[in-house]
Amino acid sequence: MKWLLIGALVVFLLLGGALLTPSPIDSQAWEAPTPPAMTGVMQPNDYLRQADLLALGQVYGPEDTTIDANGVLYTGTQDGKIVRVRPDGTVDNWLETEGRPLGMVVDGQGNLIVADAWKGLLSISPDGDTTVLTREAGGTPFRFTDDVVIAPDGRIYFTDASSRFRQPDYLLDLLEMRPHGRLLRYSPKTRKTEVLLGNLYFPNGVAVSPEGDYVLVNETWKYRILKYWISGPKAGRAEVFANNLPGFPDNLAVDDEGRYWVAFPTLRNAQVDAMHRTPWLKDLVAKLPDSLKPQPQEYGLVVAFDAGGKMLVSLHDTKGTHLQEITSVNPHEGFLYFGSLHNDRIGRLPLQVIPGLGETP
């Protein structure tokens, strides 16, 4: 009885403290659309379980990947390292950014362009010399530099997912449900950074069309992908490319056939969708320890779209035991490479094993 009373007192104090403590967010209501049925193209399967696992147990949180002209794969880890995986499977810790490297791509000069959540947009030479390209735009510093891609003309498109919350507090940004993110463009020639789109709900992955006439950007919290026109009669305008997605879209990439591949770290969460209707409840949940906040489902999911926004195929790991919390999918020479925010491996799957796709040239 004594321990029962002590336990009850602890719970009372914790709840009382949560009620009296100011919330770290000022949330707004949002009515989430009804989740799409997991049927047809979205019918669950276990194609992802066929993937080879690279650097197993030698990386932690390889959020994105890219491969250079020599076949060396690069990835960034949770502890701020840039790790290289050579074609023979050798893994080495190349350097540290002292931040959290997320999206990355190799430019035409062999430099690694990195969106570092803490440090901004970086350029790392083949010798390991690091240069900060940009840290702010329009007078607002980046707080969550996220994904990056290079257009055919050499300009760099990237996202600042939130101007309010840092990377460890992404759940607070989700609960607050306010548009703190931006789509940006950096010109290596002028060294200027432009804001192309503001007021976005956690803009995440970016991909430029093969012709360079538009860029796709994910709005993760709204379960959708936007298309921003770079050139042509619609230049400077944005429209919805794909809406009401089955999960939270993360990084995306385009392959040689013009298919857009989207990574989903987790499926939709019914609790989160329901809470969005009640701001005061979200404000309260935001004060709880992370362990008591809604958690991602252990699931692996990647979806391919055609240029018109039509779903072509979905790849699943329904148990999430082989590949889960997938945050990036990058096509390269007939393979798909999968990164993860917290997993200890990189997946590699031949395109030829995916029904209906075959091997890319």
Determine the Cα angle at 85 with ends 83 and 89, to 5°: 145
C-alpha to C-alpha distance for 329 and 83, rounded to whole angstroms = 17
Whether 217 and 160 have beta carbons less than 8 Å apart is answered as: no
Give the residue extent of every domain in the chain.
36-353
Rounded-to-integer distance, Cα 157 and Cα 147, Å? 8
pLDDT category at 20 given cuts 50, 70, 90 is confident
* Parallel, antiparallel or unpaired: strands 120-124 and 130-134: antiparallel
Take residue 101 and report the two structure tokens written for it.
Answer: 């490297």
Whole-model pTM: value is: 0.93
Quick check: 343 and 317 in contact, CB under 8 A? no
Specify whether the CB–CB gap between 279 and 29 falls below 8 A.
yes
Output 31 or 12, whichever has higher pLDDT.
31
Consecutive H or E run containing 173? helix 170-176
Q: Which residue has the higher pLDDT, 286 or 361?
A: 286
- Which stretches of the chain are DSSP H helices? 2-20, 170-176, 270-275, 279-285
Instruction: Convert the pLDDT of each residue in 121-180 to its tens digit.
Output: 999 999 999 999 999 999 999 999 999 999 999 999 999 999 999 999 999 999 999 999
CATH of 36-353, one of 2.120.10.30, 3.60.20.10, 3.30.70.1140, 2.40.110.20: 2.120.10.30
- For residue 12, is pLDDT > 90? no
Summarised one tens digit per residue, pLDDT across range 76-112 is 999 999 999 999 999 999 999 999 999 999 999 999 9
Q: How far, in Å, CA of 96 to CA of 270, rounded?
A: 38
pLDDT at position 340 is: 97
Mean pLDDT of the chain: 94
Q: CB under 8 Å to 156, separation ≥6 — which residues? A: 113, 121, 133, 148, 149, 150, 185, 186, 187, 188
Look up residue 128 and give its DSSP letter: -
Q: How many CB atoms lie within 10 A of CB 306?
A: 12
Residues 296-336: pLDDT tens digits? 999 999 999 999 999 999 999 999 999 999 999 999 999 99
For residue 195, list its beta bridge partners: 184
For residue 166, which of 183, 141, 185, 148 has the smallest C-alpha distance? 141
Per-residue pLDDT band for 359 (boundaries 50, 70, 90) equals very low
Q: What 3-state class would DSSP assign to 317?
A: strand
